[in-house]
Every structure is written in C-alpha cells, then in structure tokens.
Amino acid sequence: MRQAAARRFQHAVVTGGAGFVGSHLCTALLDQGTAVTCVDDFCTGTPGNVAHLAGRPGFTLLRADVTEPFAVERSADLVLHFASPASPADYLRLPLHTLETGSLGTRNALALARRHGARFILASTSEAYGDPQQHPQSENYWGNVNPVGPRSVYDEAKRFGEAFTTAEAGVNGTDAGIVRLFNTYGPRMRGYDGRAVPTFIRQALAGEPLTVTGDGRQTRSLAYVDDTVRGILAMAASDLLGPVNIGNPVEITMLDLARTVIELTGSESTVRFIERPTDDPAVRCPDITLARGKLQWEPLVPAAEGLARTIRWYRERAAAD
C-alpha cells in the first residue's frame, strides 16, 4: 500500500468544493501545495465558503452542474467527488437533483478522472447503512435501507455511486476509492440546514428551545471536520478501493448533545421534544478498524473541543454580520 507521505498530488478537482466538507478539503489541499479546481453549482454550497481562497495561487472556482459533463483545463491527478445535497432539509427539497448527482454526477466525475488518469475518491455516507441492525457498523455490513422512504433519495444515490465506482474500477481500471463519512460537524455548516449540531448551536445562541426529536436517545457519532478531512486525504494517498469508514467511534445521544451545547454556549435555553422523522436511524457508530489499520487514521479532536471551536465560529460570524 502507498503511504500517505509518499503520494503527493499536483492538481485536485473537488466537486461540491463550495460546500461544508468540500470547502475544508479545498483549504487543506492548497495548504499542502496542491492546486485546486473547486466545482460547484451552488444549489447548497455558497461562494462565501471559499471566499478566503480567492486569489490564492493554484485556486480556481468553476461553476458547473456535475450532472452534465464538465471539463477542467489543467491536467488533474486527483478527483474528489463531494457534490451532493447532504442534509435532510436539502435532499428532501431537491430529491431528483440528489439522485442525479449520485448517478449522473458520479459517472461524469469518474469520466473526468479516467480521462486524466487521476485517483478518484467518492464521498459516500454512513446513510448507506440505513437504520442499522449491526452495531457498530463495519464496512462488510450491507445495511438496512428503506428504498422508497423519504430518506431514500440520498441513501440510494450514495449506494448507487458506490456500485458505479466499484464497477468503474473493475472494468476500466480507474484508480478509485470510496469513503463512508459519518456525521461531521464544524465551521461553515449552515444554521438552518437541519442537522443537529448547527441547529442546536443556532437555537442556543438565540436563547430558543433546542428541538430534540423523539425521546433524544438515538445516537450519532460526531467527527470534527478537520479529522474527517485528514481521513479523506489519507484515503486519497492510499491505493485502497474500500469502502472505508471515516468517523468518530464515540457515540452521543441527541439529548446529551443538546445539553452539551447549552452548557458550552452558556445559554439559558431549554430542551423541547418534537416528532422524530420517518426512518431516522436509532444508532450510528462506525467501526474504524480498517481506517486505523490501513490508513493509520483516527479522529483526534474531542467533542467538547470541536463543539467549542464551532460555537466560536458562529459567534464570530454573527458579530461580523
């Protein structure tokens, strides 16, 4: 296996590069000396997420919808396919676009990688496991997904993308890898995107009740975005096909997360329980044995530290507005 330190990239294409995780990837790649073309149609991402990169040598912003064939002028040796609505609020609002990005978009991003002879990384998701009956979830678990439920447009788009990437590697020999990302949080998440961390922080800073779904006993495993990006880049530097779980194996209930956010913000907010969404997973926790063994990767940022950093970003942004 190639070691991460031995494989360097000259030019990376990041689809969905103006999104939450994508924008952090663009920054990390530029910081390590890799030129970056950020491709985004801004259906959920925003130019503001990469505004700090404008003018940096090697950075290019290309507005394009990856469901249509697209090209980049400069030869690329890495393609990271991160384009897709990722929060329930977004993929429920854009169901067909989500399915097309996972299918047509994956095809077009793979075609770009094949033309350039580039390493290809697909951003898949822990949602591939659905409401899991195996706990924690390892990569050999096939999942428990409702194919026609409200979340299926995202779950099945990602599962199809995994199948397409695996077939592409087998038939055409494309140098491809698949990462299954578990819940990631950090700066640049939109306060109204529907995910727990930004929702709770926004509500706590506004002094509003924190809306916890169901009884709050459902669990998630939260990885700070810097840790997730390190894992993605370690996968890119390897020659693994995967899939490989990238996530934090420390679980937290949604009720405990809400209470932690209230404590860290110093808010006087209370908790209000609301109806739990259909097909909302009861548990979510990655088995990261493969990532630890093959990528020498594991998360380093404790939840209290990562949440404090994220809260600070929200406060600074509010002060600047």
Please check whether residue 310 lies inside any domain of the structure. Answer: no
> What CATH number does the domain containing 243 carry?
3.40.50.720
pTM confidence score: 0.95
Catalytic option among 154, 185, 224, 314: 154
Nearest to 98 by CA among 144, 50, 41: 41
The answer to whether 255 and 216 are in contact (CB under 8 A) is yes
Number of separate helices (H) and strands (E) present in the chain? 10, 13
314 catalytic per annotation: no
- Is residue 39 within 8 Å of residue 62, measured between CB atoms? yes
Total number of domains constituting the chain? 1
Task: Say if 257 falls within a structural domain.
Answer: no
Residue 216 domain-assigned (yes or no)? no
Q: Which two tokens stand for residue 107?
A: 């095809």
Examine residue 109 and state whether it is found in any structural domain, yes or no: yes
Residue 205, domain member (yes or no): no
Domain annotation covers residue 263:
no
The answer to whether position 132 is within a domain reads yes
Domain span including residue 102: 4-185+222-249+283-300
Quote the CA–CA distance of 210 and 148 in Å, as a whole number. 30
Evaluate whether residue 161 is within a structural domain.
Answer: yes
Q: Any idea what DSSP says for residue 105?
A: I
pLDDT per residue, tens digit, the chain (321 aa), is 333 446 899 999 999 999 999 999 999 999 999 999 999 999 999 999 999 999 999 999 999 999 999 999 899 999 999 999 998 889 999 999 999 999 999 999 999 999 999 999 999 999 999 999 999 999 999 999 999 998 999 999 999 999 999 999 999 999 999 999 999 999 999 988 889 999 999 999 999 999 999 999 999 999 999 999 999 999 999 999 999 999 999 999 999 999 999 999 999 999 999 999 888 888 999 999 999 999 999 999 999 999 999 999 999 988 765
d(CA 36, CA 92): 30
Instruction: Tokens for 8, please give them.
Output: 């360097």
